[in-house]
Structure 1
Amino acid sequence: MTMTAPADRVRCDEAPFPLEPLRPRIVEIGQSPHLLELCFTRLLRDGIALSYPNSYPPFA
């Protein structure tokens, strides 16, 4: 049996645009060059969290 993802769910583990041109600017403002990857992974994490409201039971 073949399983497919629902049409309203899209896997996105890459940016739809190049991020590498941002690296020199990150260095220019005094940040570490590896910050680009960290910012992108946090953006994905937060975007996923915000797209699934009420999907987790409350803590209390």
Structure 2
Amino acid sequence: MATYREKKAGVLVRVRLRGVNETATFDTKEEAKIWAEALEKKIRDNGPSISRVCK
């Protein structure tokens, strides 16, 4: 599940799913949504045992 927060420096997005917690900052909410959806898909495809999918 992704949460979005508008900040002065951009949009902060946090993804929490199956033990994976990742955050990133983007210029627009559209960019943040694209990143969050791709990350959630990677987590779902690789199963709950994945520790880090972004690095």
Q: How high is the TM-score relative to the length of structure 1?
A: 0.34
- The structure carrying a bigger strand percent of its residues is 2
- The structure carrying a bigger helix percent of its residues is 1
Q: How high is the TM-score relative to the length of structure 2?
A: 0.37
